[in-house]
């Protein structure tokens, strides 16, 4: 089955700086890569996703890049704001196995 690894586990950035979270996957057949955001005490929610036929997708301040050859994909958050503080999870293809999560703290 798919094995998803996520780094870093914790990340602190100053408000306004960028944050990057990276995930690697094992199954070369995986073709869908979503990212979820979970605020404290709330349910995870999909924030952006990418399919294997594109290398990058952007939605305002967040973007996801995919390198199929290296089997990794990354979440990029620019101009971070305190409300971006949350735990972020990646998943690959079948989506029910998640990465280990990244706790992002944006320092005002």
Partner 1 sequence: GAVVSQHPSRVICKSGTSVKIECRSLDFQATTMFWYRQFPKQSLMLMATSNEGSKATYEQGVEKDKFLINHASLTLSTLTVTSAHPEDSSFYICSAPHRAGQGGDLTKTQYFGPGTRLLVL
Q: In angstroms, give the least distance from the CB of 96 to partner 1.
A: 5
* CA dihedral sign, ordered 26, 49, 86, 22: positive
In the complex with partner 1, the residue whose CB is nearer, 35 or 77, is 35
Q: In angstroms, give the least distance from the CB of 64 to partner 1.
A: 14
In the complex with partner 1, the residue whose CB is nearer, 42 or 83, is 42
CB 55 within 8 A of CB 42: no
Q: In angstroms, give the least distance from the CB of 38 to partner 1.
A: 8
Q: Which residues contact partner 1 (rule: CB under 8 A)?
A: 6, 32, 34, 36, 42-46, 49, 51, 87, 89, 91, 95-101, 103
In the complex with partner 1, the residue whose CB is nearer, 46 or 54, is 46
Task: Name the residue among 92, 107, 98 with its Cα closest to residue 19.
Answer: 107
DSSP string covering 52-90: TT-SEEEETTEEEEEETTTTEEEEEE-S--GGG-EEEEE
């Amino acid at each position: 089955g798919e094995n998803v690894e996520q780094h870093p586990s914790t990340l602190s950035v100053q408000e306004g700086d960028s944050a990057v979270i990276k995930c690697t996957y094992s199954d070369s057949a995986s073709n869908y890569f979503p990212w979820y955001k979970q605020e404290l005490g709330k349910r995870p929610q999909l924030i952006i996703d990418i399919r294997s036929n594109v290398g990058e997708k952007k939605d305002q301040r967040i973007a996801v890049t995919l390198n199929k050859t290296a089997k990794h994909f990354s979440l990029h958050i620019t101009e971070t704001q305190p409300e971006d503080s949350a735990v972020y999870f990646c998943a690959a293809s079948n989506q029910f196995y998640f990465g280990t999560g990244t706790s992002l703290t944006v320092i005002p």
